[in-house]
Chain A
């Protein structure tokens, strides 16, 4: 059974460039979450979707960040333009409705490590 799949695993880019991170959730999961991991703030929730609809984007740091979920099997997180302070590991996670509401269990991908020079 495939888990959450993220790409790319590593991305190095220059300041000002556009970055697109991709995520394929576990089939049948109807919740998708984007988190960012930094040393200072740990795992921060950026945005989450339910049935492809964005529910809460209050964690998105700035207008430079945007996320989409065009269908149940694909989501993107875009940063345009990127800045050095965006350097972090970005995780995608998915959950079934029961998992999200009752136990809060999330299934994470392996993450995309972004370095902005």
Chain B
């Protein structure tokens, strides 16, 4: 059973602080990793993806990947109330899954307090 685990939260973050979200996955053969944001009542929207070990920065967001430890994280700098949402970690299965299905975590709810 391939699993993607996230803390459900809620993660309460003061405005302006850094929110740190973690995600672990069980399939060591996983190749690609995605972070989606889902506002209440809306569909997920892509924040960023990461394929290689290390950090990847995009604006206020930084994704970090450590394949040896099988975890991927997302940092949100200078958190704003508009960042309050559920953040979904998604993992692309090993290349044997040619359909490109993603395994989603249950999501971490982030609440940014003014």
Chain A complexes with chain B = no
Give the interface of A toward B (CB within 8 A).
Answer: none
